[in-house]
Structure 1
């Protein structure tokens, strides 16, 4: 089931110390935002209703819950109960060194400092009074998204900072909403990367569960593919977005303090900035990967979104980082074709987009997959064929045949380089204004190291 993201990240590009690292010089950790000497964001811990939890209980908070028709909700026992409704907890993520309880007046410490970009993820403190003021009492005019788990509002803090306020759905009969809320807090507080949503803070107050994240004004990738955000994305922008997502997921898998599996990589969870770069959002389904020595997977109930789910995970209940790789392969097909993973209004043979696209590619008709909004040319033809070679590997039926996300990022980087070079060489036959629109590849390569 679709959930609505509305967030962005901030942070520097200082290199962090990776948890594990290959020997090649290309290093995705250079895109991570570091706080302190390490690129790993360490979660803090809350007192009050959370102070009695031991590390095992806190780690269990990372398991998300799914509300799609395919989801099996049976992980409630992995979580501690939600905070006592009569108290207001705010500030750092669960597990923080300080949590304060306030009375219902909502007065006290201000929500944000003037230097938001240097604050540790989840370290800001909010009151219900501040949230009501920022959202104009949750005005429908400020609503920017709605999904199965809650509603997202555009808000402005006292210092003028624009934020997105995610208000979890109120349902006293459904504890899974609280489970997902806690999971998202715990994951967001542990990660910090240029291409991941930036987390400011949270608040639990009686029946309210609030997340505050940075606001991104340019919508989701799905909205852009549906042409609801201005002119269609060209192939160069789509390659940039794919690489950004690959960097973000590589960071989750390899450079966070423990491997994190997102479990819900999809176009509606990819936020687009004003300069058409991507940030991965929505960590309600995220799960810590295998951490024991020699372990290859974690066994868990199936959670995710129909059309993006790894069939091996669906059949065996064994979750690995390669489940995210499968979802990423579906996303690549979406970027190339513009189609959703499931198209119920298409004729039967075209309803499952990945199956339709793979058949076209293996028959030698790769360009029939291309989004009609993209103009075919030699550079595009080469890029589509190269991307689909990667897609076939990502969508392999068994995880052992799929590449790592790090490998996906490196391949896409090479594809983009070839695309730009061929596009540039072909551009001399085009008007000068079109030639000037070609991105400066050398400058970006220098920035990425």
Structure 2
């Protein structure tokens, strides 16, 4: 009986397996080769007759009533599938479309896996982990119309067989690791309508002129392809071209006049090259042109008079060039112009008087030119102007009254012009304005009380003008105000008590006015205030003791007033970088902390002040003589003891110095000093400072000492660990030597404000010293995660992120060859006295061209726990994308305030914890609660950039150059645009164009 049941069970299973048609069996075979952690394919049921109701499977109707429907399309994109390419799918005889986009397909793509696929017309394998060469067999697919292999790790050249596609219309290989040059044989694919090879590390080479033979071409995207030479004028014959992108290359020479013959073109992108010469006339003939960007080149000469006559022109970016002459009068006729950025040129003359009357302007940036005349009254006639940036020009006259009605304005920057008169009253109270910068003009009048309507105002900078009158009490309603700078004006009257309500206030600079009355009490809300400058006014009364309770105040200048009374002892609670109460009428004893040489210049011009020392402060009448004699006795005893101690210290120092000299090589003449900058010290001063008392840090590579030189300056000295150990094994010696050579080779030739400066190196036998600039604030990691982590407010953290990103961008994009740091982390980002960030510790850095040249190049695991990119688990290939991942972790540290690895995360690291918490609880639960909510939108944008940098797919991580631009976009409060990809807007890239506005 048991044997009979087994037989029936076997028969049932055999019948079930034969109930699914052959196409379903092919699909199940494909599924078996993939890991499906999300059970996305859970309804692929072998008991079904056909697979036509399965997830991602689409069928055509049956040809006859007795036949089965046939599978024509398989779309398994974004299903989190892992594994090799499922070759069984190509055995589906009627398969027309196959998409495995946005998964983790991680194999190579051998030619055999793509056969036969006789009907396949659309193949999309983008955003995966495919490696190896491009399969030559792709060109043998007879029906292929669209091939998208973008955002993978394909390497090597484009195979010659790609010239043989019989029907291909769309080819996208963007963001791979392809090398060699762009092959001319692609011109043989006469059916091509879209060609996208952007963001590949191709061998430097020219744009093939033969591409002009692709007369059906509509999309040509060759951004960031290492292109050199001139733009072939033949490309002007591409009459069907809609999108033309040669940005972020090294192209030189002029813009060919033939480009004005691209009759169908909508968008021309030529930014970030080395193009020179004039802008050719004739673009006005392009009836479809909407966007042109040739910024950051070396273009010269005037803008063509007819340039703005192109009927549909919306965006014009020619900033960062050498353009001269005046802006054409035809500008006022540009009826669709939305975005005009011409900053950092040498343009002169005035703007057309009716500019803006016809143009629905949103963004206008003409900063850093020589423009003059008045700001046109019609500049905001359409009421949509959001950004008006005219910094560093010679504009004069009054501001037009119409700006007071321009309610869409968010940023106004008019610094350093010749503007005068009163600011239109309505402009003070614009509801969306968050930055109003009028510094360096001749404005007069007062601050209008309607400023209370400016609910979003964060930065009010009106320094160096002639503003007068009192500060209106209505300013206390500006709940988001972070900076109020009005130095060097003629403001009068007291400080309104309502200013004490400004909980977000970080900077208050009212220096050199005629303000009077007493300093504010009741300022407990100023928890964010880091700078208070009220010098050169007429304030009277005492210094409020509440100032000593402000947690982040580090700049306090109350000098040159008429303040009276004593210095409150509570001020000793502050960690002050700048402190000045000179030239007042203060009296009494100095608090002990301030009675030192460090603060000697902080109290000048206060005759009534005295240090709490005998004979300096007035004593009470009773017992004065007794105390006086007692203090003289104590002084004599102290001086005798000090003399004995001084002799002892001198003797000890002499013995210790001799001992240390012998340890450091005895014969100083044998030390070799190699300098990389002009030095004001010798190696002997460095050697004298290598005491254990001067150790300020210790890491895997060695100890770091603070050396105070004879000229009073400080440097940091790294003594490499193990370098003086004669018994060290060869591997340790080699590691030390490699670290030293990497640091010297990297930092010795770098000159960048955000890379720590290597002054020199000193060597003697096996002892190696590296001498750097001293960074007084220490490392970001210590400040962020130590006891003072709460002192880093969001503006400071944001500044650190931008500085560090610019340093890494320099390494990746501006060094030749590019340099990969390989150990980016918060402890390797150092901060100067103004919290400016420098990237440091290049002991494992390597030039990109050196990585991968043999097994020894990656014999040391580079990176630190929590910062290492996930691809390191399955490949030792490290490139710029690894640095970008590590920097993304640093961004997450800045946003969350958490360590990259924490026991609270369990088996997760910071990246996984952030992603999981956002999915389960929302983004607010990952943001550091110590950060102020007024910056929440900005913080969220930076968080998104961090998550983009820490994408598990290396190809999805933006370049450091793009990271810098995205971070700068955050500060301008403008939405990021998705990057144009294959003529469409893609959600997983940010716009690579430099449209962040002037960074002034």
- Give TM class, smaller chain: 0.5 to 0.7
Partner Cα separation in structure 1 for residue 680 and residue 673 of structure 2: 5
Aligned counterpart, 1:359: 916
In structure 2, the CA distance between the partners of 1:161 and 1:221, relative to structure 1 (3 Å rule), is same
Aligned counterpart, 2:676: 121
The answer to whether the 8 Å contact 1:200/1:214 transfers is: yes
Larger helix share, 1 or 2: 1
Q: How does 1:26-425 map to 2 (within 5 A)?
A: 104-107=666-669, 121=676, 124=679, 129-133=684-688, 135=689, 138-170=690-722, 171=725, 172-173=728-729, 174-175=732-733, 176-229=735-788, 231-290=790-849, 300-301=858-859, 302-344=861-903, 346=904, 348=906, 351-363=908-920, 365-377=922-934, 379-380=935-936, 382-418=937-973
CA drift at 1:22: 2.8
Encode CA deviations 1:152-195: one digit per residue, 9 max, x unaligned: 11102233321111111124321212211111111111211000
The answer to whether the 8 Å contact 2:681/2:709 transfers is: no
Encode CA deviations 1:342-374: one digit per residue, 9 max, x unaligned: 002x1526x521111112223461111111221
The answer to whether the 8 Å contact 1:244/1:279 transfers is: yes
In structure 2, the CA distance between the partners of 1:299 and 1:413, relative to structure 1 (3 Å rule), is same
Q: Secondary structure of 1:327's match?
A: helix
In structure 2, the CA distance between the partners of 1:388 and 1:231, relative to structure 1 (3 Å rule), is closer
CA drift at 1:230: 7.2
Q: Secondary structure of 2:770's match?
A: strand
CA drift at 1:124: 5.0
CA drift at 1:317: 1.1
> Gapped runs of 5+ residues in structure 1?
1-17, 31-102, 113-119, 420-444
The answer to whether the 8 Å contact 1:164/1:212 transfers is: yes
Partner Cα separation in structure 1 for residue 787 and residue 816 of structure 2: 38
Partner Cα separation in structure 1 for residue 893 and residue 681 of structure 2: 38
CA drift at 1:126: 7.7
Q: Secondary structure of 1:160's match?
A: coil
CA drift at 1:145: 0.4
In structure 2, the CA distance between the partners of 1:408 and 1:282, relative to structure 1 (3 Å rule), is same
Higher gyration radius (CA): 2
Partner Cα separation in structure 2 for residue 201 and residue 281 of structure 1: 15
CA drift at 1:324: 0.7
Larger strand share, 1 or 2: 2
CA drift at 1:228: 3.5
Partner Cα separation in structure 1 for residue 747 and residue 777 of structure 2: 21
In structure 2, the CA distance between the partners of 1:178 and 1:109, relative to structure 1 (3 Å rule), is closer
Aligned counterpart, 2:360: none
The answer to whether the 8 Å contact 1:168/1:177 transfers is: yes
Q: Secondary structure of 1:224's match?
A: helix
Q: Secondary structure of 1:290's match?
A: helix
CA drift at 1:111: 7.6
CA drift at 1:107: 4.7
Q: Secondary structure of 2:746's match?
A: helix
The answer to whether the 8 Å contact 2:701/2:736 transfers is: yes
Question: Which structure would you say has the larger RCO, counting Cα contacts within 8 Å and 6 or more residues apart?
Answer: 1
Q: Secondary structure of 2:668's match?
A: coil
Aligned residue pair count: 316
The answer to whether the 8 Å contact 1:106/1:130 transfers is: no
In structure 2, the CA distance between the partners of 1:104 and 1:25, relative to structure 1 (3 Å rule), is farther
CA drift at 1:109: 11
In structure 2, the CA distance between the partners of 1:352 and 1:309, relative to structure 1 (3 Å rule), is same
Encode CA deviations 1:33-74: one digit per residue, 9 max, x unaligned: xxxxxxxxxxxxxxxxxxxxxxxxxxxxxxxxxxxxxxxxxx
Partner Cα separation in structure 1 for residue 909 and residue 770 of structure 2: 35
Partner Cα separation in structure 1 for residue 671 and residue 841 of structure 2: 28
Aligned counterpart, 2:187: none
Give the structure-1-normalised TM-score: 0.63
CA drift at 1:290: 3.2
Of 199-208 and 401-410, more deviation after overlay is shown by: 199-208
Partner Cα separation in structure 1 for residue 771 and residue 923 of structure 2: 43
Partner Cα separation in structure 1 for residue 961 and residue 862 of structure 2: 23
Q: Secondary structure of 1:318's match?
A: coil
The answer to whether the 8 Å contact 2:790/2:930 transfers is: no
Partner Cα separation in structure 1 for residue 825 and residue 671 of structure 2: 37
Partner Cα separation in structure 1 for residue 882 and residue 767 of structure 2: 33
Structure 1's consecutive aligned runs of 4 or more residues displaced over 6 angstroms after TM superposition are 108-112
Partner Cα separation in structure 2 for residue 324 and residue 197 of structure 1: 17
Q: Secondary structure of 1:316's match?
A: coil
> Gapped runs of 5+ residues in structure 2?
1-247, 251-270, 274-293, 298-319, 321-664, 975-996
Give the structure-2-normalised TM-score: 0.30
Partner Cα separation in structure 2 for residue 396 and residue 141 of structure 1: 44
Partner Cα separation in structure 1 for residue 682 and residue 249 of structure 2: 36
Partner Cα separation in structure 1 for residue 958 and residue 805 of structure 2: 12
Encode CA deviations 1:204-252: one digit per residue, 9 max, x unaligned: 1123110011111111101111244475211111111101011000000
Q: Secondary structure of 1:418's match?
A: coil
Partner Cα separation in structure 1 for residue 829 and residue 762 of structure 2: 24
Partner Cα separation in structure 1 for residue 683 and residue 805 of structure 2: 37
